[in-house]
Amino acid sequence: MGSVTPLIAIIEQLKKQGREVAVLFVGTSRGPERRVIAHCGYRFVSIASGKLRKYVSIHNVFTPFGVAIGCIQSLLLVWKEKPDIILTAGSFVAVPVAWAGKILHVPVLVHQQDIHKGLANRLMERYASKITVTFQETLHEFENTKTVWTGNPVRPILLEARAHDAISRFSLSAQKKTLLVVGGGTGSVWINHFISDHINKILEHCQVIHVTGQGKEEYHGDVPDYHVYEFLEYNDMALAYAVSDAVVCRAGLSTITELSQLSKPAIVIPMPESHQEDNAAYLWQKKAAVVLDQNDVSWEKFSKALEKVLINQQDRLELSKAISDLTPKDATEKATLVVEEMLGLVDAQ
């Protein structure tokens, strides 16, 4: 779902600036982003998709067929809709759409969120008219003549939410610290289990808002100060961020960007054997979060991390400043300007 968030942020910024925008999102039929897009009121079309896994899997046998069908569907869709521009932030379902855009002479903007480019963006780089990147360190991985460092766009509502509104929304105590636990758009079974197993110890220090993820088992019972939700719409998620004193999360770039924009101390547990490990390593290098290895987490290690992000004021201040410095605060405006330049709405800088 993280690949959708920066695109919605750009659309909302265009509207905020008075631009008339008609939007069509293309995704997969079972993608978690579908609910978010529907809540925003945008049109949605699903196409076939294939994902090339780095490990041996029977699913890799069927990938070429999914890609071929997706290419045909994308070509017909782009020809029918005649879009002015195609925006993508690195999902595999976007590869055939970007290819169709190149074939039919529609400008394509590819946004690179993670610290290192993934396979989807490697494939789409040749189709891109422009490429935007979250981190300055990533610029060298793409063709420099069409790559721009913008940072990662965030939705305006994230910065507008207020803690006092969240207290009533989630029935929280204004006198207690709040820990937000979130496992990404699809949730994290491992994080859910770990928090549930140790919730009584955690509640000795704070109250907890726990977003388990769509379709994941809910861990609630009748535990006071433990507020569990399968899913939060983005306006509620913004409130949860606003009221939180610290966050436990995966290392998806949309989440990291939100933490950076809000200067939130965080315990980051990357998904093993994924691009998130590179993102988490970057955070660790910058001393911008407490990074834990899922395969090596004990209650003792988590407890020490919790003390740093929630209790020790000096540690909290240092982590807050370090993560705040990670990404530009005007990323949404910069990325939106690139789109306006591509559409000929403003002169190129």
Domain 5-152+328-342 fold:
Rossmann fold (3.40.50)
pLDDT value at position 346?
Answer: 87
pLDDT value at position 57?
Answer: 55
pLDDT value at position 69?
Answer: 93
Euclidean distance between CA atoms 99 and 4, whole angstroms: 19
Domain 157-324 fold:
Rossmann fold (3.40.50)
**Does 157-324 match 5-152+328-342 at the fold level?**
yes
3-state secondary structure 33-46: HHHHHHHHCCEEEE
Q: In the block, which residue shows the tokens 């966050």?
A: 247
How do strand 178-182 and strand 290-291 relate by DSSP bridges? unpaired
pLDDT value at position 30?
Answer: 79
What is the H or E stretch that residue 25 is in?
Answer: strand 24-27
pLDDT value at position 184?
Answer: 66
Q: Domain coordinates of the chain in residue numbers?
A: 5-152+328-342, 157-324
**137 close to 114: Cβ distance less than 8 angstroms:** no
pLDDT value at position 215?
Answer: 67
Per-residue pLDDT of the chain (349 residues; tens, 9 = 90+): 568 999 999 999 999 999 999 999 999 887 778 888 998 999 999 999 766 555 555 555 556 777 789 999 999 999 999 999 999 998 889 999 999 999 999 999 999 999 999 889 999 999 999 999 999 999 999 998 999 999 999 999 999 999 999 999 999 999 999 999 998 666 688 999 999 999 999 999 999 999 998 765 666 667 899 999 988 999 999 999 999 999 999 999 999 999 999 999 999 999 999 999 999 999 999 999 999 999 999 999 999 999 999 999 999 999 999 999 999 999 999 999 999 999 999 887 6
